[in-house]
Structure 1
Amino acid sequence: MGAGTVHEAASVTAARARAHAAGPCDLVILDLTLPDGSGLDLVSELRSLGWNRLVVLASSDDPYAVRSAFQAGAQAYLLKSAAPSVVTDGVKRVLDGGVYADPTVAPLLATGSRVPGTDNTPRELSAREVEVLQLVADGQSNKEIGEALNLSALTVKSHLSRIGRKLGTGDRAQMVALAMRAGVIR
């Protein structure tokens, strides 16, 4: 897929050391089950350090694991059992600034995800905000959404910021999950 430099690690400790040495890279693909800890902890840590494109590649389709990965800051949740084309599609969407969930786990995001301190209802979303959020759910980047709706990428970002305030989260995947659960988007 055009990667220039690839780092590999077999444990949380090794991944953490490489991450701190290399600094934020274009893409991180993490397993959840590592011999010395959880990949979820590393997702949260890398996210807080400025890493923006985090993909979980896991064997588990457990709803808790899927939601936890997105809540920790992952932009994609892919299954190891998926066809190579599904994994490639997911990685490409993340590289393009989108979010992605393996089609077999996507419905799990629509149930049981809540943000503390808000009522998490998308009832106040405008028609345009719903359009933007649907395109986010379809894996579109801000640029692609702008092109589809004849908006600038900055206007799309502004819409997403307002959606985030209304839903109590700035996380794209969680916005989508909340709107799907409420039946506002498909």
Structure 2
Amino acid sequence: MSVPVDEVQTIEIVIVDDEKFVRGALRTYLSQTKDLVVVAEGENGEDAIRLAREHRPDVMLIDLQMPVMDGVTAIRHIVAQNQEIGILVVTGHISDIHLKAALLAGAGGYVVKDAEPERIVAAVRDVHAGDCPIDPAVAHLLIEDLRGSRPVTRGDQNIELTEREEEVLKLLCDGRSNSEIAAELYLSESTVKYHLVRLGRKFSTRDRLQLVVTALRSGLVS
């Protein structure tokens, strides 16, 4: 029996933001595509925890500064209860402090509220796919902070990299996307993904964010 042409695999989403018009805007952006479905909305961190438990969505869009309970605290609780839920921070706060706090709590990505709708939609899909989208407006803050705090020696690492792996890793740590790395090195995106998988295994990291953090702090990338 054939599957109807208009039947697509959907990504269920919960939006949590204390501003009603922001929730409405995000719902509008996401409703333009057939694969993204908003199943619930909340306005504070406690709502986020409850809705995560009730709906078990694929992805949650969460603001950081909210009444009753802030977003970072909510993210920490949600991740502790269900690591299968992807969390995308959508906020107006462009700050390395907010960024690091959210990512350390378990967020899978970080975009600003005034980003283009297409970027927010793409970030939702990326988080669901296990990627770690970080808005270019704030990515450099995290990277520069990590560069400044990393050790100056390489003694703790006994990791051998090929010349191509070093090139891919350096571009990754510069905040480049897979497509940008592919274009820079004249590779296909599938080849870039292959190298990232190998790098993840060598550094014992589960995602690209951990890979960037570990590589920068190890001193293996300048």
Report the TM-score when normalising by structure 1.
Answer: 0.72
Match in the other structure for 1:31: 63
After superposition, what is the alpha-carbon deviation per residue over 1:28-71, rounded to whole angstroms, capped at 9, x for unaligned? 11000111121111212222222342100011011100111111
Question: Could you say which structure has the greater relative contact order, defined with CA pairs below 8 angstroms and 6 or more residues apart?
Answer: 1
Which runs of no fewer than 5 residues in structure 2 stay unpaired? 1-32, 179-187
Which runs of no fewer than 5 residues in structure 1 stay unpaired? none
Give the stretch that moved more between structures: 103-112 or 129-138. Answer: 129-138
Conserved in 2, the CA contact under 8 Å of 1:43 and 1:73?
A: yes
Instruction: Return closer, same or farther for 1:93/1:183 CA change in 2, 3 Å cut-off.
Output: farther
Counterpart Cα distance in 2 of 1:76 and 1:34: 18
1:102 to 101, 118, 135: 135
Counterpart Cα distance in 1 of 2:193 and 2:124: 26
Counterpart Cα distance in 2 of 1:82 and 1:171: 24
SS at match of 1:21: helix
Counterpart Cα distance in 1 of 2:38 and 2:193: 36
Match in the other structure for 1:126: 161
Equivalent residue pairs, number: 171
SS at match of 2:36: coil
Q: What letter is aligned with 1:184?
A: V
Q: Which has the larger radius of gyration?
A: 2
Question: Does 2:209 align with 1:173?
Answer: yes
Match in the other structure for 2:221: 184
Instruction: Return closer, same or farther for 1:113/1:45 CA change in 2, 3 Å cut-off.
Output: farther
Within a 5 Å distance, the mapping from 1:77-156 to structure 2 comes to 77-113=110-146, 124=159, 126-127=161-162, 129-130=165-166, 133=169, 134=171, 138-140=176-178, 147-149=190-192, 151=194
Q: What letter is aligned with 1:172?
A: R
Match in the other structure for 1:42: 74
SS at match of 1:35: coil
Counterpart Cα distance in 2 of 1:74 and 1:126: 29
Match in the other structure for 1:66: 99
Instruction: Return closer, same or farther for 1:157/1:174 CA change in 2, 3 Å cut-off.
Output: closer
Within a 5 Å distance, the mapping from 1:13-32 to structure 2 comes to 13-23=46-56, 25-32=57-64
Q: CA RMSD in A?
A: 3.5
Instruction: Return closer, same or farther for 1:150/1:27 CA change in 2, 3 Å cut-off.
Output: closer
Percent of pairs with identical residues: 25
